Structure 1
Amino acid sequence: MSFSDRHLIPAEQTDLSPSALQQVEEYDAEPKFRAIIGKGGTRRGIRLESVYWDGLSWLINGSRQSMGDVVDQAAAQVGENSNLASMLRVVAFRWMWRRLAIMENVYSTENLNTLIQACPTPAIVLTRDKKIQFFNESFMTMLKQRLALGNIAQLSAGFRFVLDTQVDDAIQSLSAKGKMVTTGFTATCAGKQLSGQINLAMAPSHQKQMVIGYVVRG
């Protein structure tokens, strides 16, 4: 694993590709008829694809609103003679879109870097292709002390950071079990070597799969 400035630049694109996109389930597009009763006992018969009913149910989950409240508000916007079903599709999609925007902001690489910098112990973020995405000052201090380095420029030539566990294997294990993975690591530079132990966890990022490593012994 090399250590250079280009490995520290946040990725601006996601790992999504056409083959990675989830397939639409047959159930999602199946129209479902529901009779919704709003305030005052107003009853409206509505036919929507199942995925939109699911979205609207998610929208009201944990809130004080009922499905009747959502339908009443949508009906008030479109009027009684307009397409209520279309408005409800827009409501569901718009809410999901806004929710996604909030989540992408929370799980951005910028916030991930802030999380690493706030850690008081040596911490590092590794990409699936074994590159160093971020590291904090404590990690740099550890390398300087243990490898007798003068400055970060020395790390750009010949530095290697290798885990005893493959990053791909760690990601698969973390994704499946959701538990921490503990493994060893070896850092080498200019003929000097540092070995230790590191705890791995999935990095909170929507852009690409990465792991956070917290050095527990080095």
Structure 2
Amino acid sequence: MMKPAEIPRDEDWAFQPRFRVLRVGSVRRGIRLEEIFWTVLQKIADARDCSVGDVILACESRLEKGANLSSALRVEAVTYLQQELEAALSKTGRQAVRNQVMASPSPCFALTGDKQLMAYNPAFIGFVQSRLSSLASDATGQGVRLSLDIQFSDLIEKLRIEGSGPATVGFVIGVERQLIRGRLNAILAPLIDREAIIGFILPN
């Protein structure tokens, strides 16, 4: 099986056509496609644990006689990307963030770049109540201010580094004039339309 090719650094690499001769079934075929489509076809092959030639053969077997194979391969590549996008979108969004926050047994919340709490669990409210005697027992997250000891943009950049894992940072929670200080583990929230983190409060 062919190894995935490195993506060229030229910003116009995706548009550059490349002619390749591959074994497709029992014959060798010469096919010209733009580089972006070869890259996606290789991703499909990797996902299916087969060769690009096998992907082409499967695509060709579905074509009617006389149909254009190059066009069919482009459709195959775009269809794969569309399916991958739909799968990714099903795992992202506000509800996905809420589910992760609510599933945590420890105090947990989701914070956006404008310092808005977009989700929090009952353990988080219990954490705040236990440290602020003036907070009503039926209080919610309304009026709770939260800030980090690192610039939000710097934290996002740090978390985006592949393999970096969670980042441990300090935080301050403010309710009226009262403050709570502590530390938390932060991860990126599964959102594509905004920057946000999920914070898991660490025990003192």
Contact 2:149-2:170 within 8 A present in 1 as well: yes
Contact 1:127-1:211 within 8 A present in 2 as well: yes
Cα distance in structure 2, aligned partners of 1:162 and 1:38? 58
Give the ranges of 4+ consecutive aligned residues of structure 1 lying more than 4 Å apart after TM superposition.
none
Contact 1:117-1:136 within 8 A present in 2 as well: yes
Query: Which residue number in structure 2 is paired with residue 28 of structure 1?
Result: 14
Identify the structure with bigger relative contact order (alpha carbons < 8 Å, sequence gap 6+). 1
How far residue 80 of structure 1 moved from its aligned partner, in angstroms, is 4.4
Query: Which residue number in structure 1 is paired with residue 54 of structure 2?
Result: 69
Cα distance in structure 2, aligned partners of 1:71 and 1:182? 47
Q: Which amino acid aligns with 1:142?
A: F
Query: Which residue number in structure 2 is paired with residue 86 of structure 1?
Result: 71
Cα distance in structure 2, aligned partners of 1:179 and 1:37? 41
Task: Normalising by structure 1, report the TM-score.
Answer: 0.80
Establish whether residue 96 from structure 1 lines up as the match of residue 108 from structure 2. no
How far residue 185 of structure 1 moved from its aligned partner, in angstroms, is 1.6
The 5-angstrom pairing of residues 4-43 of structure 1 reads: 25-39=11-25, 41-43=26-28
1:19-78 per-position Cα deviation (integer Å, ceiling 9, x unaligned): xxxxx9311111111122222x22321110010000000001042432222222222333
Cα distance in structure 1, aligned partners of 2:182 and 2:201? 8
The 5-angstrom pairing of residues 140-151 of structure 1 reads: 140-148=125-133, 149-150=135-136, 151=138
In structure 1, which of residues 145, 152, 174 is the aligned counterpart of residue 139 of structure 2?
Answer: 152
The alpha-carbon distance between structure 1 residues 133 and 120, as it changes in their structure 2 partners (threshold 3 A), is: same
Q: Percent identity?
A: 28
SS, match of residue 194 in structure 1: strand
The alpha-carbon distance between structure 1 residues 64 and 179, as it changes in their structure 2 partners (threshold 3 A), is: closer
Structure 1 vs Structure 2 CA RMSD: 2.0
SS, match of residue 94 in structure 1: helix
Contact 2:44-2:55 within 8 A present in 1 as well: no
SS, match of residue 84 in structure 2: helix
1 or 2, which has the higher helix percentage?
1
The alpha-carbon distance between structure 1 residues 135 and 88, as it changes in their structure 2 partners (threshold 3 A), is: same
Q: Which amino acid aligns with 1:152?
A: A
Establish whether residue 193 from structure 1 lines up as the match of residue 179 from structure 2. yes
SS, match of residue 89 in structure 1: helix
How far residue 163 of structure 1 moved from its aligned partner, in angstroms, is 1.6
In structure 2, which of residues 194, 200, 204 is the aligned counterpart of residue 214 of structure 1?
Answer: 200
Gaps of 5+ in 2: 1-9
